[in-house]
Amino acid sequence: MSTTEATNALSFADLGLSDSLLKTLKDVGYETPSPIQAACIPILLEGRDLIGQAQTGTGKTAAFALPLMEQIDLKISKPQALVLTPTRELAIQVAEALQSYAKNLPGFHVLPIYGGQSYTIQLKQLSRGAHIVVGTPGRVMDHIERKTLNLDHLKTMVLDEADEMLRMGFIDDVEWILERTPAQHQTALFSATMPEQIRRVAQKYLVEPREIKIKSATATVAAIRQVYWQVSGMHKLDALTRILEVEDNFDAAIIFVRTKNATVELADKLSARGYAAAALNGDLNQQMRERVIEQLKSGALDIVVATDVAARGIDVPRVSHVVNYDIPYDTEAYVHRIGRTGRAGRTGNAILFVAPREVSMLRSIERATRQPIAPLTLPSRADVTNKRVADFKASVAEVLNAEGLDFFSNIVSQIAEEQNVSAEEVAAALAMMCQKGKPLQIPGEDPVARPLPAADSRRPGTFGERDRKPRSEDRSDSRPRFDDRPSKPRFEGGDSRPRSEDKPRRAMAPSSDMITYRIDVGRDHGVQVKDIVGAIANEAGIESRFIGRIGLYDESSTVELPAGMPAEAANALKRTRVRGIPINMRPDEGRPDGASDGERKFKKKPSSY
């Protein structure tokens, strides 16, 4: 297994891509390959197995997607490539990228398959034929077992974000799929890190792979001021508008959120508060996207609310601020986000909103960027009032220096005489009228913020609500850490059921911000904890680290999920299936032992995670 450090190539033409694909890349705006693309594309075009170690945001999707496009035989309407991803969001993202590269390939068909989508829809699409299938491990397994996904014509297998699939408990499913692929095929494995289990999979299933590593782009621009605000005591939107009002040298901003729906919702709310704002997400076609960016450049827009994917490649010098309204999932995304400001020699500002449970990510960002991020004190009511008054005075002074005020002076004099008041009182009334929906003086009280714990007082992996005792001393307020969870069965001997001597722990009371739900799948259905975690993570878009304790029983299970789930996520979970069985999720009745009536008769204790 040879290892190569990735380097840049001069152009995509140097990598051996066809003229048709080069034209497509030019049309979609790709200019030069990233280091991972430059290193991986020639190797994959040769048909060799490959291990690519690169962080999110380095262009690895194109690194494997472009060679796939070159190898597809459009005359064969059977899956010739299979891409496994840990989440449905990534599956959709990869499928969209492949479709964009197929602009000059009429008849090309890529199919994303993932949990949460109707089997009927996927069965129809599979029966019509697909050249490339992109899917999550669980749903791909289901289709292979149903014999609705045939891999006989498979040429290439891609494992995208392998370490994330390991963290979510999918690695056994990945191996199950690999064992059912044709003996002769190419395999490419991409992973941000290389834990031992991923290394073992690579050694077992890849044939003399070339290994490519690229260094993380963790260097940040020195001219960027980085601060964070602790989300506490005030709604994020109210805090955002306060901060934007008092920020010095504010010109334009890109505000990052996690979902497409959030871009539209936040942009609408900002527009209602008087800001020139617009959404930028993957639902916009290229023409609309270019229009939004052009408006940002020209000054017609001051704020763009965007997702990570939609904001890639934005280069607008007047962007003075980047706001991480939703904290990014990884440090690489943070670096790419704040790189949108501080351009063309100008000073930039990066503001990060951090909830208490997200403090570990804040510390990870500080370690990765090797720069401390200072806390930002939320502007007080007095600060905002003073800023608004100063702006108002400046506007009045500008008008006073203008010509042609005689007509308006006469009107003021007439009002003063008619109302028997002074000119100052008339001016005060006019000033009040000018406030419109933005009063000069903010009513209410300032919230009291609680400081986040210092970096040296925290243990890695904690969520940040409070300092906690070790797990052995305090189990009542702990949550599972799925990145530390082994993928093998929880009980020795390979049996997912507890033996009498195991004495499994009882499911404990949920944390104050968690709600316990009951689902209609359990040990009798062959379900394991990883099946439940994977289904919830994929269907509702809930990160596995936010899924609480899971109690397995014979005929049902319990699972803790965060309180206040969006309606979209809750509805998705109602339609979720685990191993083909509807889970029928509903709030748990809260019985002391957590068992259903049928299970109580046998006095069996659950196994808990």
pLDDT at 207: 94
Query: 210: exposed, middle or buried (C-beta count within 10 Å: 0-12, 13-18, 19+)?
Result: buried
Mean pLDDT, residues 545-556: 84
Q: What is the 3-state secondary structure (H, E, C) of 245-291?
A: HHCCCCCEEEEECCCHHHHHHHHHHHHHCCCCEEEECCCCCHHHHHH
The whole-number average pLDDT for the span 271-278 is: 90
Q: Which residue has the higher pLDDT, 594 or 339?
A: 339
Backbone angles phi, psi at 311, to 5 degrees: -85, -5
Q: How confident is the model at residue 42 (pLDDT cuts 50, 70, 90)?
A: very high
* Average pLDDT estimate for 354-367: 83
In 453-582, which residue ranges form alpha helices assigned H by DSSP?
529-540, 567-574
The token pair at 386 is: 């003073």
Domains 224-379 and 479-608 share a fold: no
In contact, 159 and 187? CB cutoff 8 Å:
yes
Whole-number pLDDT of residue 249: 83
Q: What is the mean pLDDT of residues 94-114?
A: 90
Give the least confident one: 259-263, 341-345, 390-394: 341-345
**Cα distance between residue 501 and residue 59, in whole Å:** 50
Provide the pLDDT for residue 10.
66
Of 142-151, 369-378, 509-518, which gets the smallest average pLDDT? Answer: 509-518
Q: What band does 39 get if pLDDT is binned at 50, 70 and 90?
A: very high
For residue 486, the number of C-alpha atoms closer than 13 Å in the C-beta half-sphere is: 6
Query: What percent of the chain lies above the pLDDT cut of 70?
Result: 79
- What b-and-e string marks burial along 111-125, b requiring 16 or more CB atoms within 10 Å of the CB? bbbbbbbebeebeeb
**The domain 2-213 belongs to what CATH superfamily?**
P-loop containing nucleotide triphosphate hydrolases (3.40.50.300)
Q: What is the mean pLDDT of residues 73-92?
A: 90
Q: Name the pLDDT band for 153 (thresholds 50, 70, 90).
A: very high
Residues 286-326 pLDDT 10s: 788 889 999 999 999 999 999 887 777 677 889 999 999 99
CA angle 599, 601, 603 (to 5 degrees): 75
Rounded to an integer, the average pLDDT of 149-169 is 92
| 532: DSSP letter | H
pTM of the model: 0.48
Residue 449, pLDDT score: 52
C-alpha to C-alpha distance for 207 and 576, rounded to whole angstroms: 37
> With 70 as the cut, is the pLDDT of residue 230 above it?
yes
Architecture of domain 224-379: 3-Layer(aba) Sandwich (3.40)
Q: For the residues 222-239, what does the mean pLDDT come to?
A: 83
Helix (H) and strand (E) counts in the chain? 20, 22
Give long-range contacts, CB 8 A cutoff, 24+ apart: 176-179: 176/141, 177/82, 177/84, 177/137, 177/140, 177/141, 177/144, 178/205
Residue 601 confidence (pLDDT) above 50: no
Give me the amino acid identity at 103: K
Q: Where are the domains of the chain?
A: 2-213, 224-379, 382-395+412-443, 479-608
Burial class (CB in 10 A: 0-12, 13-18, 19+), 541: middle
- Give the DSSP H or E segment for 587: strand 586-587
Pairing mode, strands 224-230 and 348-354: parallel
* Better-predicted residue by pLDDT, 51 or 544: 51
Which helix (H) or strand (E) element contains residue 88?
Answer: helix 88-101
- Asked whether 162 and 142 are in contact (CB, 8 A), the reply is no
Q: What is the tens place of the pLDDT at every residue in 111-122?
A: 999 987 888 889
In this prediction, residue 607 carries a pLDDT of 44
Q: How far apart are CA 178 and CA 174, in angstroms?
A: 6
Percent over 90 (pLDDT), the chain: 30
For residue 191, pLDDT beyond 70: yes
Lowest mean per-residue pLDDT among 22-26, 417-421, 504-508, 581-585: 504-508
What is the arrangement of strands in the sheet containing 374-375, beginning at the earlier edge strand? 277-280, 303-306, 252-256, 319-324, 348-354, 224-230, 374-375
Written as six digits, the tokens of 606 are 């659950």
Q: Which residue has the higher pLDDT, 591 or 559?
A: 559
Q: Residue range 428-448: average pLDDT?
A: 70
Q: How far apart are CA 26 and CA 100, in angstroms?
A: 12
- pLDDT tops 70 at residue 437: no
Q: What is the mean pLDDT of residues 183-193?
A: 92
In whole angstroms, give the CA distance from residue 234 to residue 381: 13
Which CATH code fits 479-608? Answer: 3.30.70.330
Q: What confidence score (pLDDT) does residue 139 get?
A: 92
| Average of per-residue pLDDT across 6-26 | 80
For 156, phi then psi, to 5°, come to -135, 140
- Region 131-160: mean pLDDT is 94
Looking at residues 573-595, what average pLDDT do you find? Answer: 73
Taking residues 271-297, what's their average pLDDT?
88
pLDDT at 446 over 90: no
Distance from the first to the final alpha carbon of the chain: 37
| pLDDT value, residue 309 | 74
Specify the range with the lowest mean pLDDT, choosing from 227-236, 237-246, 447-456, 511-520: 447-456
Question: What average pLDDT does the structure give for the chain?
Answer: 78
Distance in angstroms (rounded) separating the CA atoms of residues 129 and 142 = 17
Who's near 590: CB < 8 A, 6+ residues apart?
Answer: 516
**Does position 494 have pLDDT exceeding 50, yes or no?**
no
Task: Name the E strands within 541-584.
Answer: 550-552, 557-562, 577-578, 581-582
pLDDT at 465: 32
pLDDT in tens, 29-38: 677 788 889 9
Is residue 444 very low, low, confident or very high in pLDDT (cuts 50, 70, 90)?
low
The residue count for the chain: 609
